[in-house]
Amino acid sequence: MTRPLEKLAGFLYRRSSLLYGAVLRARVAASGFMTRRECAACVQHSGIPGVRIGLDGLCGECREHSAGFDRNAIAHSAELFFSNAATESRTTDRPGGGPNVLVMLSGGKDSLAALALTARRKEARPLALMLDHGFLPEDVRGQAARFCERLGVELVVRQLDIRSDVARAWRRPGMNPFVCFPCCEAQAREALSICVKGGIRRIVTGLRWLWEDTFLPVTSAAFAYRYFRVPARSAIRILNIIPAGGMTERQELDLLAGHGLKFRHVGGDSTCCELFGLFEAEYRRRFGHYWEGERFLSKEIRAGVITKTEAREKLRAPEIPPEKEAEILRRAGIRT
C-alpha cells in the first residue's frame, strides 16, 4: 500500500474505533436506566445491544435454537464426520495411511478433551496442531505435549508472533474484545495449509470455536469459509466434538481428571491463554461491562455444555494480580 493510502486507512481505523468506543459507552450508560429483562434460557439480557427478549421470555438466538435443535441429527452428523474421514482422506505412503483428522489444540481443557475424544474413535488417526503465541504458560504447553505423546498423537507446534496485533487491539479506544481473532485467523491458516498438504478433510476444535449464533456441531460451509477460508467444495468439515457428543463441562472435567490432567485458570475464564482474562478485565474497566462474556456463555448454555447457574459463576470479573498484568503487558510490548 502506498504511504498516503496507509495514512488514510490508519485515520479511518482510529476514527471508527473512537466512534465504536463512544457508542459502547453510551449504550452502557443507557442500559443503566432501562429495566433489564433476562432471557429465560440463557444469560443474555435486554441491556446487550441487539438483544430483544420476546413475549415468550426468550432471546432471538434461544428461540431460533430451540426451533432448529435436533439431538439425533447432531449425533448422526458427528458419526458421519468420522466414518467419512476414513474413506475420504487421501491415502499416503505413511504407515497406517497418515493422519486423517486435525485437532486444534490450545492446551486448554476443551481442546485436550476434544483430543481425548477424537483419539478414542477407531476411524480417526489424529494429528494435533498447537500455535504458541507467546502467552501460553510453560506448564500448559508441557502438559499438552505430554498428553499427545501418551496418546501416540503427533503434535505440530508453530510459533506465532501476535504482539503487534495485541498492542493494536489494546490501544484502540473502542477496544476490540476479540483479541482471539488474529490468533484464531493464524490458527485457521495453519490448519488449512496442513490439511491441504496432508489430504486431511476433518478438523476437530475445542469449544471456543463456537462462534456461530446458532449452534452447529458440524460447521456450515459459511462458517468454515468465514473463519478457516475453507472453500465449500473442498469437503473439509469442522466438528465441535464436545457439544456434538452432548457432553457437559462437568463430564468433560471428569474425563480429563481420568487422564490425570490438571487445569487452572490462567487469567479469566481460560485454562490456557494469559491474554484472555487480561483483555476482559481491561474491557470491564473501560466500559463497565463485558457483554461478550454473556454472549459467549449463552452459546455454551444453548450447546448444553453449561447450565445458567454455572454461566453466572463464570461471569464474575477476572482477578489478575497487578504485577502479573504488568508482566504480560511488557511481554506484549504494550508497556515498557
Return the half-sphere exposure (C-beta side, CA atoms, 13 A cut-off) of residue 297. 24
41 interacts with Zn ion by CB under 5 A:
yes
Size of the residue set binding Zn ion (CB under 5 A): 6
Which one, 59 or 207, has the nearer CB to Zn ion? Answer: 59
Of the listed pieces 57-65, 95-103, 178-186, 190-198, which binds Zn ion according to CB under 5 A? 57-65
Give 335's contacts (C-beta < 8 A, 6+ positions apart).
326, 329
Q: Is 37 exposed, middle or buried (0-12, 13-18, 19+ CB in 10 A)?
A: middle
Determine if 39 is a binding residue for Zn ion (CB under 5 A).
Answer: yes
Beta carbon nearer to Zn ion, 8 or 40: 40
- Of the candidate spans 36-44, 186-194, 244-252, 276-284, the one that interacts with Zn ion by CB under 5 A turns out to be 36-44
Considering only 24, 48, 51, 59, the residue that binds Zn ion (CB under 5 A) is 59
3-state secondary structure of 109: helix
Residue of 42, 241, 247, 266 that binds Zn ion (CB under 5 A): 42
Cell of 19: 466512534
Do the beta carbons of residue 144 and residue 107 sit within 8 Å? yes
**Among 24, 48, 62, 144, which residue interacts with Zn ion (rule: CB under 5 A)?**
62
Where are the alpha helices (H) located in the chain, listed in sequence order? Answer: 3-31, 60-68, 71-88, 109-120, 138-151, 163-171, 180-198, 221-228, 241-244, 249-258, 274-287, 291-302, 308-314, 322-331
Candidate segments 42-50, 127-135, 223-231, 281-289, binder of Zn ion by CB under 5 A: 42-50
In the complex, the smallest distance separating the C-beta of residue 167 from Zn ion, rounded to whole angstroms, is 35
What is the bridge-based pairing of β-strands 101-105 and 126-132?
parallel
Q: How far is the CB of 37 from Zn ion (least distance, A)?
A: 11
Binding site for Zn ion (CB under 5 A): 39, 41-42, 44, 59, 62
